[in-house]
Amino acid sequence: MKAEETVEIDLVGKTSIADAMIITSGRSQRHVGSIADKVIQELKTRGFGNPRVEGLPACDWVLIDAGDLLVHIFRPEVRHFYNLEKIWGADRPADRLAG
């Protein structure tokens, strides 16, 4: 589907909501929607059941929640604004222990 700038972020030890997050971009709303449809189809084909999906009507940012895997598909401007890579990425400072 020619998704752009795809990044996988390991969430193990950072949160209990999922084990991994994939962030990618589409060039337009139509492209974002097409990528999302293909990901949803592949998840179902590979036995992940019916993932929860948010954002399909607008297709600025589509979130696909497949349980242990979260997939974010953005238009480039929206991705830049939210900057999830910085929030969840490897360059995130280590959580400080209270004590």
Pick 13 or 98 by higher pLDDT: 13
Spell out the domain ranges in the chain: 4-88
Identify the pLDDT of residue 90: 56
Which CATH number applies to 4-88?
A: 3.30.460.10
Residue 23 to residue 70: CA distance in whole angstroms = 8
Residue 24 to residue 33: CA distance in whole angstroms = 12
Residue pair 11/19 in contact by the 8 Å Cβ criterion: yes
The pLDDT tens digits of the residues spanning 5-51 come to 999 999 998 889 999 999 999 999 999 999 999 999 999 999 988 99
Tell me the average pLDDT of the chain: 88
Say whether pLDDT at 97 is over 90: no
Identify the pLDDT of residue 91: 53
Instruction: Please name the residues in contact with 89: beta carbons below 8 A apart, sequence gap of 6 or more.
Output: 7, 9
Residue pair 24/32 in contact by the 8 Å Cβ criterion: no
